[in-house]
């Protein structure tokens, strides 16, 4: 087990963790805000990857896709919240709605793009590898790392230090009180849902060249996403960051040592955490 190998693996883990963070940051805030388990969140992530495929097939450049796909998904997320979830009559109804959306997106993807995984070519500029102290590392992954880290800093700043962030956190903590203070909570919900979806879409776009476009992405990422949110706490961007990085390492190392069982890792972890603390790690209500 050379240092080089360890270094490369660890870095893989960080890249994976950062992608997971982009996906789950939005989910965590949405779940803190709306108290529903959004099963369809993974579907938005998957759509990000597939829309990138479509954009590239239509002749757009990767950079254009990187810009457009999150915008599209913001619109999709915001309208989902506005038109569907807002009319939900109960938490059961919410659950059922997101579950049905999950199916719809799955079937749409299968129809339009088929069941075979599709490769997503990285842009020419980012191909090849870069020499790091412990070995050569794909430039594209370094790019993903850089972009997601920058975004993480931006998100944390927005969430923790701006008025917008405080507003969102207020609505998470006590929606009734926030309304009483004059905050338009339904607009906040819509925007946050849209932003969370956009982030997931961005993650999908970025991860395309690494993980390919695969119709099972939505279901396989589900448990990883939820374990991050449960571990990190609902409504906490910082928590999502820490938990994602941890999960990233766990996943990468388990793929290396137990390749057959790696996919079950998040499942087992999720079951174990909820078995130990049925109310989630931070005592949040479900």
Partner 1 sequence: MKIAGIVVCCLVGALLPLWLSPSQTRIFTEMLYLSLFAISFCFLFNYLGLLSFGHNLCFGLSAYAVAIYFNSNPDGSLWIAFLLVIGVAVVASTLSGLLLMRLNGGYFALMTMAICQLAFFVASKWRAVTRGEDGLMMSTPQITPPGISNDAVSQTVLLCWLALAVLVFGAGLLAWYLRTPLGRATILLRENESRAAFLGYDTRVVKLAAFNVSGIAAGLAGALYAVYQGFVSPVALGFGLSGDVIMMTLIGGSGSFLGPAIGAAAYTGLEDVLPGFTSHPRFVIAVIFVALVLFVPAGISGVLGRIQRRRDRHAPVKGEVPA
Binding site for partner 1 (CB under 8 A): 35-37, 39, 84, 87, 89-93, 95-97, 99-101, 103-104, 106-108, 110-111, 219, 222-223, 226, 260-261, 263-264, 267-268, 270-271, 274-275, 278, 280, 286
Type and span of the H or E element at 70: helix 62-83
CA 74 to chain centre: 13
- Quick one: 35 or 82, whose CB is closer to partner 1? 35
For partner 1, which is the closer residue by CB, 71 or 96?
96
Which of 230, 239, 227, 238 minimizes the C-alpha distance to 285?
Answer: 230
* Residue 75 or 271 with smaller CB distance to partner 1: 271
Gap between the Cα atoms of 158 and 148, Å rounded: 15
Q: How far is the CB of 70 from partner 1 (least distance, A)?
A: 24
* Distance, CA of 186 to CA of 171 (rounded, Å): 10
CA distance 36 to 45: 18
- Could you give the C-alpha distances from 229 to 14, 217, 280, 282, in angstroms and in order? 17, 18, 9, 11
Output 91 or 161, the one with its CB closest to partner 1. 91
Least Å from the CB of residue 136 to partner 1? 33
Q: Residue 35 CB, nearest distance to partner 1 (Å)?
A: 8
| Largest separation between any pair of C-alpha atoms in the chain | 59
Q: C-beta of 59: minimal distance to partner 1 in Å?
A: 27
Nearer to partner 1, 182 or 285 (CB): 285
Q: Residue 94 CB, nearest distance to partner 1 (Å)?
A: 8
């Amino acid at each position: 087990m050379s240092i080089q190998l360890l270094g490369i693996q660890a870095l893989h883990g960080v890249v994976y963790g950062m992608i997971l963070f982009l996906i789950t940051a939005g989910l965590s805030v949405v779940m803190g805000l709306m108290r529903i388990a959004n099963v369809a969140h993974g579907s938005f992530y998957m759509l990000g990857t597939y829309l990138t495929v479509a954009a590239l097939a239509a002749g757009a450049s990767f950079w254009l896709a990187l810009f457009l796909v999150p915008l599209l998904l913001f619109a999709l997320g915001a309208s989902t919240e506005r038109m569907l979830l807002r009319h939900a009559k109960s938490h059961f109804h919410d659950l059922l709605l997101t579950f049905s959306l999950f199916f719809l997106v799955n079937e749409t993807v299968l129809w339009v793009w088929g069941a075979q995984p599709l490769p997503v070519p990285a842009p020419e500029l980012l191909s090849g590898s870069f020499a790091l102290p412990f070995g050569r590392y794909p430039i594209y992954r370094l790019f993903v790392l850089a972009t997601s880290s920058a975004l993480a800093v931006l998100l944390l700043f927005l969430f923790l230090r701006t008025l917008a962030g405080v507003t969102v956190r207020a609505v998470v903590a006590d929606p009734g009180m926030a309304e009483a203070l004059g905050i338009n909570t339904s607009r906040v919900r819509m925007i946050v849902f849209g932003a969370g979806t956009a982030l997931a879409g961005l993650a999908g776009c970025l991860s395309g060249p690494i993980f390919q476009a695969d119709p099972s992405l939505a279901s396989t990422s589900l448990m990883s996403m939820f374990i991050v949110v449960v571990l990190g706490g609902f409504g906490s961007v910082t928590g999502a960051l820490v938990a994602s990085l941890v999960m990233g390492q766990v996943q990468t190392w388990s793929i290396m040592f137990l390749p057959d069982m790696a996919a079950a890792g998040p499942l087992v972890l999720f079951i174990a955490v909820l078995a130990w603390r049925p109310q989630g790690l931070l005592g949040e209500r479900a």
